[in-house]
Structure 1
Amino acid sequence: MSLESKFLQVVLLACAISGGELAVAKTPAQPNKVLNLAFEAPDDGFDMVKTYNFYSGNIAEAIFEPLLKYDYLARPVVLVPNTAQTLPKIEQDGKVYTFKIKSGIYFTDDPAFKGKRRELTAQDYIYSIQRISDPKNVSPTFSFIDGKIVGLNQLVDSAKKTGKFNYDAPIAGLKALDKYTLQITLTRSDYNFPYILAYVTFGATAREVVEFYGDRLGQHPVGTGPYQLSRYVPRSKIELVANPDYRGFTWDYKSTGTAWDNQLVKEMAGKKMPQVGKVNISIIEEEQSRWLAFKSGQLDYDKLTSNAVPQALDGKQLKPALQKLGIKLFQNKDPEVTYTSINMKDPVIGGFSLDKIALRRAIAMSYNDEESIKQLYKGQATKAEMFIPEGVQGYNPKYRSSIAYNPLLANKLLDRFGYKKGKDGYRTLPNGKPLSIKFLMQSSSKDVILSELWKKNLDAVGLRSEFIVSNFADNMKAAMQCKYMLWGSAWIADFPEGENFAQLLYGPNSGRGNISCYQSKAYDSLYTQALALLPQQRVPLYEKMNRQIEADNPWIVGGTRLRSWLMHPQVQGYKAHPMMNSVWQYVDIQPVKK
């Protein structure tokens, strides 16, 4: 019996045991096609309503389906229907969006459904938006829809008063006109709104599953997408298998005219997707270990680690030795910004008094970005001037930051505001008490380099530094609770408009997406003004918001990384996407003749 036959028998047997309705598997995925990958940091579960962990999002994208998705090859990015039959019908100048959902899409079998097949409906998308809005969930994604849907915020305000969100209460702006028709009415015109609905957290969720698993939901994701969770060892191993009931699709994307796209079309056109039957993901935080795992063939593709750049690249070209092995190189620049987040609620470094602002400004001016790019990223990054990156609406290539590396001026600033040096060369607080700048760090070799850079830079201005080492998930938890001093982070665009980055410092998002816990009336006013405009009219306000960030320093903006993706010759169809992170359903594994 073939592996495919065994796979099908197992699927059908599982349906029979659960008492579910038997159905022939739809997915074209081949169980003997296994994709082996690694994450450089751990997830924190897969309930995206409660987290924005990048690695959690990678898995969730393969399981949950929003109404819309992105064309795989098109650049600039283009939205296309996903579970919706077509792009939405737009009325009232961008205030009313109506979606027709495809019939015959089913959630994966789960005990929550008590042996019955559960079809996707318009109400599932309404429920997902309700969960995002429920104050109990403290969702970092709520900012994407805060104040935008007619009647929703009134329900949120009521829940804050009563302590309970009424999931059965009607919402004027969220209506299931029938089983498959969803209508969303906004408080104001917003032609950017479809991009928000394409974000993974707005993927359909079944209410029965949420109520069945409760607090364990993050380890039991149930969606309608191409893959389902088969094994999960937190902070160690994640395994996905093809969803046997997934409807599949034909790989029919159009080349943008690049040689890479042309080759992808040649390899993949006409294939029934997904082809990969299993995705194995290992958590490998140490860069050298991950590089060795790729070189030895344990990983099918991976981002080139910074410390391996000299071993793999000559400039922007792959070294001949790797080319001879058939290894391929794809390079891109993510629509991202890296930054050091400063907790504005911290009693030592937070607040808006002039001495606190001076301390943060001095720290920002002490950091040598050029040295960081050279040592930390081996030259594979560019200095960011704005908090909105290239490739995102609102970015201005002519904008220049008012804060630059200047340790001489940083020293004078600290002297001016009473941060005096002691006999040991380190400064105290203006009141004479000890001062130490404390960073959250991970245990990777990259973080060791980052710690050394920060210590060297801060020593030069007389500031003592401490580095508290933990793991990514725990550091994120501390940041979400505003219980830290400084932490280096990054944000990759969820949708291609500056609002996605601006909301990270919006006051009402404090303790959610706004991990700096920054609350500035001036910034918040600019943010709300920007949202009232069309996206193309927001650039001047985004620039003013950027200047406000430079004045208050809740962030120290870093660089944008250049990504070099390496893949072994058996991998076909891969292309990094600016918005989608898990592209496994578009990839194939083919044996290579040696």
Structure 2
Amino acid sequence: MLVFPLLPPLIRRPAGRASALARVVCGAACLVLSALPGASAATAPSTAAPVAASAPSAAAPAPRVLRYAFPTAETGFDPAQISDLYSRTIAAHIFEAPLTYDYLARPARLRPQTAAALPEASADFRTWTFRLRPGIYFADDPAFGGRRRELVAEDYVYSIKRLYDPRWKSPTLGLLEGSRILGLSELRQQAIQGQRPFDYDAPVEGLRVLDRYTFQLRLAEPAPRIHYYFADGAMLGAVAREVVEHYGDEIMAHPVGTGPFLLAQWRRSSRIVLARNPGFREERFDAEPPADDPVSQAIAQRLRGRRLPLLDRVEVSIVEESQPRLLGFLNAEHDLLDRLPPELSPPILPHGQLAPHLQKKGVQLERVAGVDITYAYFGMENPVVGGYGPAQVALRRAIALAYDAQAERQQMRKGQMLPAQSIVPPGVSGFQAGLRTEMSQQDLPRALALLDLYGFADRDGDGWRERPDGGPLHIEFSSQTDQISRQQQELWKKAFDALGLQATFRIAKWPEQLKASRAGKLMMWSVSWSAATPDGAYFLDLMYGPNKGQANHARFDLPEYNRLYRQQSSLPDGPQREAVILQMKKLGVAYMPYKVVGHRMINDLMHPWVIGYRRHPFLRENWRYVDVDPEAQARAGVAR
């Protein structure tokens, strides 16, 4: 059953949301944060820890709780089944991969997590050996029958195999399948063809347990960067077989990992609570910040040596609308605002700087260029916008050229976005700063000429174009109900109208759209894709044919692109690989399965009692490194 949230009062004094927002957007003179005392105890669900009405006694120290909101609902927490950012963010704090990233090092640097050291790679990058640290345990769960369950190499072997099991329909399978772990694809095909269920106990040449704490990959092709995937707990975090067999199809709601947090409460699409894992091993804060980054240096000095996780609990609400999410932060109902909504940024970040009235309150700003893309895709198997013939390509390119991407970047997102030239963003391998393509252009005359040239004409005089064969031409664009989606719909409607293309918008909740998109049922949809590794191939995956229904929601499948994809995947980083990636990006522009609009600027806001927060370009499990100071909250009059 879906439980939807009742939004708590946003301002303590009697005022409606509209008037409260007006006070926010009027600027520094409003002193919005004068209402900072926070939410009342009545806003807390009855199942959560009670909110203290007064300062706790010395014998009962106040819990260290981080509260903030997701703008989009989660789908679940099973690494084999999830791909959306918000589900993956939760899962990454519960499950642990063998590797992780140094929290403060820039550029990003891998380090061992459950592994004893970085993996050993053969000279040809076809064999990778991972050795684990003994004495790491899963969180207690009834599935273990009351015994303490140690993490062993077999758990990672099992977790990798689950991605190949067709039962789970893993959306991330393609990330590994391109490396061709010897024998696993064949085992998967046997299950798909109905010869027998997926056999987890069958020996696989390319995935072997060497001893209790060591496992090895053997690949058909060189894979110089495959180890990056083993730093993603939301994809390759260890899952215990007993847990999966115990919960079966309910596994999305029962995540059990070795990480610092466990799932304490979940009201679907409403509220997620993580609690400190009491059985988490002893781990201390240890990071190596750049010498020229004083903020990270100060964090490292303050937190070095403290036992992780620093927090007792993380409470996440789902607040889809931008205004309530911002007001929730300004009223100290949330400690952190993850990604300031760009449409609300002008009064908060005038001239790119934090507003003076917020600075006086000690609010902190973390501003970074996101390693991501925002795009609209065309369903390449859709009979209206899909296909590879000249007329079909012309239709997609005309729609892309008619869309006012600059208006989205400057007006809708208030300048908090950089223009995109291809599907690969800055901050990963394969990005070329000097590249210029029509991806970032708006050219309505050229768009109209393309449609005229290829026979898309208004033959019956109703004001709308038909297909070259005279058949009806109707565009269906999928979207959501939130404010920024509504603004985006207006921009796309202007583009369709300018081209004489009849269009409607299919509105649904994010999880519903995601499910339909994976099944190939959407004609067009606008979403974002964020980096999980420093490798640009994570974005090239979006157009690789075998990834259809996984990362490749457009279901683009071009033989030449697929050939180049396989070529670059086996090449080491360097000029030769960069040249191949450039060819791939140009094919993406030419065939236009994705209209990439831009790369977002990310502005995170924190109250002064939040300690140690730094946004990492690839690391999702950063909550173990963040602290909340209850004494500072008390001084600010925030009751929790």
Instruction: Give the aligned partner of residue 572 of structure 2.
Output: 534
| Residues 226 and 386 of structure 1, relative CA distance in 2, 3 Å threshold | same
Q: CA offset at residue 71 of structure 1? A: 0.5
1:313 correspondence with 2:352: no
Instruction: Give the aligned partner of residue 407 of structure 1.
Output: 444
Instruction: Give the aligned partner of residue 129 of structure 1.
Output: 160
Corresponding letter in the other structure for 1:308 = L
2:422–2:588 contact (8 Å) kept in structure 1: no
Q: What do the CA deviations read for 1:421-447 (whole angstroms, capped 9, x no partner)?
A: 354432222333432221111111001
1:210 correspondence with 2:244: yes
2:274–2:313 contact (8 Å) kept in structure 1: yes
1:583 correspondence with 2:625: no
- Distance, in Å, in 2 between the alignment partners of 1:234 and 1:324 is 37
1:31–1:276 contact (8 Å) kept in structure 2: no
Q: Which stretch of the first structure deviates more once superposed, 424-433 or 545-554?
A: 424-433
Q: What do the CA deviations read for 1:137-172 (whole angstroms, capped 9, x no partner)?
A: 221221122143223223223333325211101112
Instruction: Give the aligned partner of residue 453 of structure 1.
Output: 491
- Distance, in Å, in 2 between the alignment partners of 1:34 and 1:558 is 37
Q: Give the superposed CA RMSD.
A: 1.6
Q: CA offset at residue 582 of structure 1? A: 3.5
Q: What do the CA deviations read for 1:190-244 (whole angstroms, capped 9, x no partner)?
A: 2312111112211101011111111100011110000000111111110110100
Q: Which stretch of the first structure deviates more once superposed, 475-484 or 396-405?
A: 396-405
Q: 1:398 aligns with which of 420, 424, 434?
A: 434
Give the match's secondary structure for 1:145. helix
- Distance, in Å, in 2 between the alignment partners of 1:148 and 1:85 is 25
| Residues 30 and 419 of structure 1, relative CA distance in 2, 3 Å threshold | farther
Corresponding letter in the other structure for 1:406 = D
Corresponding letter in the other structure for 2:306 = K
2:74–2:269 contact (8 Å) kept in structure 1: yes
Q: CA offset at residue 96 of structure 1? A: 2.3
| Residues 520 and 188 of structure 1, relative CA distance in 2, 3 Å threshold | closer
Q: Which stretch of the first structure deviates more once superposed, 160-169 or 38-47?
A: 160-169
- Alignment TM-score, normalising by the size of structure 2: 0.86
Q: What do the CA deviations read for 1:499-548 (whole angstroms, capped 9, x no partner)?
A: 21111111111112111111111111111111221133321111111111
- Distance, in Å, in 2 between the alignment partners of 1:248 and 1:466 is 55
Q: 2:454 aligns with which of 403, 417, 420?
A: 417
- Distance, in Å, in 1 between the alignment partners of 2:62 and 2:476 is 48
Instruction: Give the aligned partner of residue 366 of structure 2.
Output: 330
The number of residues matched between the two structures is 566
- Distance, in Å, in 2 between the alignment partners of 1:521 and 1:185 is 26
Instruction: Give the aligned partner of residue 17 of structure 1.
Output: none
Instruction: Give the aligned partner of residue 10 of structure 1.
Output: none
Corresponding letter in the other structure for 1:299 = H
Instruction: Give the aligned partner of residue 12 of structure 1.
Output: none
Q: 2:263 aligns with which of 226, 229, 236?
A: 229
- Listed as ranges, the gaps of 5+ residues in structure 1 are 1-28
Q: What do the CA deviations read for 1:532-577 (whole angstroms, capped 9, x no partner)?
A: 2113332111111111112221111110000011000000000001
- Distance, in Å, in 2 between the alignment partners of 1:143 and 1:511 is 10
- Distance, in Å, in 1 between the alignment partners of 2:333 and 2:588 is 43
1:99 correspondence with 2:130: yes
- Alignment TM-score, normalising by the size of structure 1: 0.93
- TM alignment of 1:103-252, pairs within 5 A: 103-146=134-177, 147-161=179-193, 162-200=195-233, 201-252=235-286
2:190–2:198 contact (8 Å) kept in structure 1: yes
- Distance, in Å, in 1 between the alignment partners of 2:371 and 2:512 is 25
1:31–1:278 contact (8 Å) kept in structure 2: no
1:100–1:182 contact (8 Å) kept in structure 2: yes
Q: CA offset at residue 470 of structure 1? A: 0.8
- Distance, in Å, in 2 between the alignment partners of 1:572 and 1:129 is 35
Instruction: Give the aligned partner of residue 45 of structure 2.
Output: none
Give the match's secondary structure for 2:192. helix
Q: 1:42 aligns with which of 73, 78, 96?
A: 73
Give the match's secondary structure for 2:595. strand
Give the match's secondary structure for 2:64. strand
| Residues 349 and 188 of structure 1, relative CA distance in 2, 3 Å threshold | closer
Q: CA offset at residue 97 of structure 1? A: 2.1
Q: CA offset at residue 107 of structure 1? A: 0.9
Q: 1:53 aligns with which of 84, 101, 126?
A: 84
Instruction: Give the aligned partner of residue 553 of structure 2.
Output: 515
Corresponding letter in the other structure for 2:238 = A
2:143–2:246 contact (8 Å) kept in structure 1: yes
Corresponding letter in the other structure for 1:176 = V
Q: Which stretch of the first structure deviates more once superposed, 250-259 or 368-377?
A: 250-259
1:351–1:357 contact (8 Å) kept in structure 2: yes
Give the match's secondary structure for 2:465. coil
| Residues 244 and 195 of structure 1, relative CA distance in 2, 3 Å threshold | same
Give the match's secondary structure for 1:315. helix
Give the match's secondary structure for 2:77. coil
Q: 1:569 aligns with which of 600, 608, 613?
A: 608
- Distance, in Å, in 2 between the alignment partners of 1:78 and 1:139 is 28
Corresponding letter in the other structure for 2:507 = V
Q: Which stretch of the first structure deviates more once superposed, 364-373 or 249-258?
A: 249-258
- Distance, in Å, in 1 between the alignment partners of 2:415 and 2:537 is 29
Q: Which stretch of the first structure deviates more once superposed, 171-180 or 158-167?
A: 158-167
Give the match's secondary structure for 1:495. coil
Corresponding letter in the other structure for 2:341 = T
Q: What do the CA deviations read for 1:294-338 (whole angstroms, capped 9, x no partner)?
A: 110011111211122112012221010000111000101121111
1:436–1:464 contact (8 Å) kept in structure 2: yes
Give the match's secondary structure for 2:93. helix
| Residues 475 and 163 of structure 1, relative CA distance in 2, 3 Å threshold | farther
Instruction: Give the aligned partner of residue 20 of structure 1.
Output: none
2:478–2:522 contact (8 Å) kept in structure 1: yes
Q: Which stretch of the first structure deviates more once superposed, 516-525 or 257-266?
A: 257-266
Corresponding letter in the other structure for 1:78 = R
Give the match's secondary structure for 2:408. helix
1:71 correspondence with 2:102: yes
1:362 correspondence with 2:398: yes
- Distance, in Å, in 1 between the alignment partners of 2:202 and 2:371 is 39
- Matched-pair identity in %: 39
1:375–1:449 contact (8 Å) kept in structure 2: no
- TM alignment of 1:336-485, pairs within 5 A: 336-403=372-439, 404-421=441-458, 423-485=461-523
- Distance, in Å, in 1 between the alignment partners of 2:539 and 2:333 is 36
- Distance, in Å, in 1 between the alignment partners of 2:75 and 2:61 is 29
- Distance, in Å, in 2 between the alignment partners of 1:267 and 1:571 is 13
- Listed as ranges, the gaps of 5+ residues in structure 2 are 1-59
